[in-house]
């Protein structure tokens, strides 16, 4: 968690409690730019989408946007036409309060599925938030969007573009129902860069691909996952488009930001005690590398073994073999935090060293396939009794 972080100019924040799921915490966040922004978003590929996702996917086509209103504690998914009505009302309440007539306020919800939003509490809370906009910090909004997260997730970066300091800041929340086949989680990124909408869209899509799409906590894909970005242009740099050299600089920093935010989600995986990086090297194809990495990352047996500091590398071999990718098991080397444990598909009797290596909090399981030149890394966390405890009693 960063304690000191810069925030792009022109953005204001509010965090308010509406007692959606529990009392005594903020569960609504408003992020607002006085200056209209260009926007981009990557959304869940789940067939079952929250009305808020459907709303945002449609409204993101607009040229102008002013911000987000987000609630935790209730995903407003599988709530029928009422859910869509509620989404529209949430957005409109912010727009009315801030006199926005020419651009969008996006709506995001996270929490339990299938329960109608308590609009009788949400609308007054949003109004209170609008009234005190600017009195809260970005960190306060990071706290308000938490569900089972154990810490707020915020990160910030700056980059010099034409002697101007561009700031990119983001918040995100985890920590269960995270799978690499989609956008993953709720994440809100804001920047004061001047950038074309198409360039912002391309940058975000590519950035999500190598960050939020490289993490997995339980292989499930949420109905609400969204990563969205707003750029208000307050910085005053010359406009960035995909042809300018500044695009690369901006993209590089955005990539770092999204990677660090995504890593925080894994670090805060439900019940997790360790992060795990699955590193696949030397695959015959990129797709093969990804499938192998994800199969290992999603293996409950691998993740419980890491939790138990059990150097049971046979489970890694087994997961690789079940990925639907062909390779020669007799060529495989496996390393745990640099300590080799398998050479050419066979154990080399280094279980004791591997067990010692598994005492670390950050575990790298590296697999050398020696089949080709394609590599990848996927991040996950260990699987513990606490994951079960957290998820066995979530709604009730």
What is the binding site for its own copies (CB under 8 A)?
45-49, 75, 77-80, 112-115, 176-177, 179, 181-182, 218-223, 298-301, 304-305, 307-308, 310-315, 317-323, 325-327, 329-330, 342, 344-347, 351, 355, 383-385, 387-389, 391-396
As a whole number of angstroms, the distance between CA 386 and CA 271 comes to: 4
* Smaller CB separation from its own copies, 37 or 336: 336
Cα–Cα distances in angstroms (integers) from residue 38 to residues 1, 6, 72, 172, 204, in the given order: 28, 20, 25, 20, 12
* Smaller CB separation from its own copies, 46 or 275: 46
* Smaller CB separation from its own copies, 47 or 163: 47
Long-range CB contacts (within 8 A, 24+) of 131-134: 131/97, 132/14, 132/16, 133/12, 133/13, 133/14, 133/30, 133/32, 133/98, 134/12, 134/13, 134/14
Task: Answer left, alpha or beta for residue 227, where phi above 0 means left and psi between -120 and 50 means alpha.
Answer: beta
| Smallest separation, CB 286 to its own copies (Å) | 18
CB 390 within 8 A of CB 271: yes
* Smaller CB separation from its own copies, 77 or 336: 77
Exposure string of 6-27, with b = 16+ CB inside 10 Å and e = fewer, is ebbebbbbbbbbbebbeeebbb
| Smallest separation, CB 27 to its own copies (Å) | 18
The DSSP letter of residue 26 is: -
| Smallest separation, CB 128 to its own copies (Å) | 28
* Residue tagged 């935090």 (tokens): 337
* Residue tagged 């300091």 (tokens): 165
| Smallest separation, CB 310 to its own copies (Å) | 5
CB 52 within 8 A of CB 76: yes
* Smaller CB separation from its own copies, 214 or 315: 315
| Smallest separation, CB 308 to its own copies (Å) | 3
| Smallest separation, CB 215 to its own copies (Å) | 15
Cα–Cα distances in angstroms (integers) from residue 81 to residues 31, 43, 161, 222, in the given order: 26, 20, 45, 20
* Smaller CB separation from its own copies, 44 or 169: 44
| Smallest separation, CB 99 to its own copies (Å) | 35
Phi first, then psi, for residue 333 (nearest 5°) are -110, 145
Catalytic: 141? no
The active-site residue, picked from 44, 147, 172, 184, is 184
* Smaller CB separation from its own copies, 79 or 226: 79
Single out the residue of 215, 1, 173 nearest to residue 70, CA to CA: 173
Long-range CB contacts (within 8 A, 24+) of 130-136: 130/14, 130/30, 130/93, 130/94, 130/97, 130/98, 131/97, 132/14, 132/16, 133/12, 133/13, 133/14, 133/30, 133/32, 133/98, 134/12, 134/13, 134/14, 135/14, 136/13, 136/14, 136/15
- What positions carry a catalytic annotation? 184
């Amino acid at each position: 968690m960063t304690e000191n972080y810069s925030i792009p100019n022109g953005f204001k924040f509010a965090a308010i409690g509406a007692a959606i799921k529990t009392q005594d915490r903020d569960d609504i966040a408003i992020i607002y730019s006085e200056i209209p922004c260009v926007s981009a978003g990557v959304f869940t590929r789940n067939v079952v989408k929250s009305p808020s996702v459907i709303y945002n996917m449609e409204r993101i086509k607009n040229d102008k946007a002013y911000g987000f209103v987000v609630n935790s504690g209730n995903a407003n998914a599988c709530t029928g036409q009422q859910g869509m009505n509620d989404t529209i009302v949430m957005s409109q309440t912010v727009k009315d309060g801030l006199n926005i007539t020419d651009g969008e306020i996006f709506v995001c919800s996270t929490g339990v599925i299938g329960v109608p939003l308590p609009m009788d509490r949400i609308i007054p809370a949003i109004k209170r938030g609008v009234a005190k906009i600017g009195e809260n910090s970005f960190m306060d909004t990071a706290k308000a969007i938490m569900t089972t997260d154990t810490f707020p997730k915020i990160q910030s970066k700056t980059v010099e573009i034409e002697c101007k300091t561009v700031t990119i800041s983001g918040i995100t929340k985890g920590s269960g129902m995270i799978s690499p086949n989609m956008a993953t989680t709720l994440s809100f990124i804001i920047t004061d860069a001047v950038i074309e909408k198409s360039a912002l869209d391309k940058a975000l899509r590519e950035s999500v691909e190598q960050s939020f799409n490289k993490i997995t906590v339980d292989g499930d894909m949420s109905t609400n996952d969204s990563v969205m970005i707003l750029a208000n242009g307050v910085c005053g740099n010359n406009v960035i488009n995909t042809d300018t050299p500044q695009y690369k600089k901006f993209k590089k920093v955005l990539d770092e930001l999204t990677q660090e935010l995504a890593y925080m989600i894994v670090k805060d995986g439900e019940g997790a005690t360790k992060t795990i990086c699955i590193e696949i090297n030397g695959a015959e194809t990129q797709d093969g590398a990804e499938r192998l990495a994800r199969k290992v990352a999603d293996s409950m047996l691998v993740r419980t073994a890491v939790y138990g500091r059990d150097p049971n590398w046979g489970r890694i071999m087994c997961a690789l073999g079940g990925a639907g990718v062909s390779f020669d098991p007799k060529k495989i080397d496996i390393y745990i935090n640099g300590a080799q444990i398998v050479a050419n598909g066979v154990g080399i009797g280094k279980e004791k060293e591997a067990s010692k290596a598994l005492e670390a909090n950050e575990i790298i399981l590296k697999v050398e396939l020696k089949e080709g030149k394609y590599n990848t890394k996927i991040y996950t966390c260990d699987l513990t009794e606490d994951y079960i405890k957290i998820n066995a009693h979530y709604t009730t």
